[in-house]
Amino acid sequence: MLLCKFAPIVVYSLRQDSMKIEDLLENIEDHDHLSSNEETPLRADAFALSDAEKIESIKKDVHHILETLGMDMTDDSLKGTPNRVAKMFVQEIFGGLRPDKKPSASTFDNKYKYGEMLVEKNIVVYSTCEHHLLPIVGRAHVAYISNGSVVGLSKMNRIVDYYAKRPQVQERLNIQIVRELQKVLNTDDVACVIDAKHLCVNSRGIRDIESSTVTGEFGGKFKEAGIRREFLDYIKMDTKF
Ligand SMILES: [Zn+2]
């Protein structure tokens, strides 16, 4: 179950001797990392409600969950929690579901005729696992070879952040970043590697705090061994392919 049809690699690195591989595999199966489509599974009526209406509705749901757990929702410390969580879901951690939040697609001419690979590495990833609604925290490394146009460096960070702010699986996030940059830069020659910790693996279930998940998506020239090696050398990953 480690393999996903979209991502060439998914590696869980084990650094704790006490960890049994069978336990880890069992946990990953439970995690059901296989996703069916590179598009986020949104319904056609996903934006029928305004953000304010969504917050009102989610507020009641969060209140209900906490009340069901037996919490006294009149306690001063808990009173504001449903509203806080609802706003955080709609406006922050799932704010990248809204198409109007997508970073603008502006590019510039490649004036310097720089024809080599450009790598933006160690881009912070904060996302949310859609199977457990727990954080995914890590780094994305993005590269492209210009086909005549270039993007501002921070554009790559913004694209990573936009797609991360959704209920996600890492493989899909990886692919969405590459597809968007391919579209913006009008070239297939884009690659992205993500190394991230999944709190659903690190903090509950198997509770392996050391393991992280590595995924990679390599388009165009990055499918060639030499170019791929150069990219991985830049980001100093020794992952074998
Ligand atoms: Zn999960």
Tokens standing for residue 150: 């270039």
- pLDDT-based confidence at 9, cuts 50/70/90? very low
Q: Which of 129, 168, 176, 217 is catalytic?
A: 129
Residue 132 annotated as catalytic: yes
What's the CA gap between 34 and 23, in Å, rounded? 18
Residue 170 annotated as catalytic: yes
- Domains delineated in the chain: 9-35+107-234 (3.30.1130.10), 51-93 (1.10.286.10)
Q: Which of 33, 170, 180, 217 is catalytic?
A: 170
CA 215 to centroid of ligand 1, rounded, Å: 15
9 or 204, which is more confident? 204
Which positions ≥6 away from 199 have C-beta within 8 Å? 129, 132, 134, 135, 136, 137
Tens of pLDDT, residues 74-116: 999 999 999 999 999 999 999 999 999 999 978 888 888 888 9
Q: In angstroms, what CA-CA distances link 140 with 2, 123, 145, 194? A: 20, 5, 17, 4
pLDDT at position 36: 55
Helix (H, G, I), strand (E, B) or coil at 238: coil
pLDDT at position 146: 94
Q: CA Rg, the chain, in Å?
A: 20
CA 141 to centroid of ligand 1, rounded, Å: 22
Helix (H, G, I), strand (E, B) or coil at 70: coil
pLDDT at position 46: 96
Please name the residue ranges forming H helices in 33-72. Answer: 51-68
Residue 131 annotated as catalytic: yes
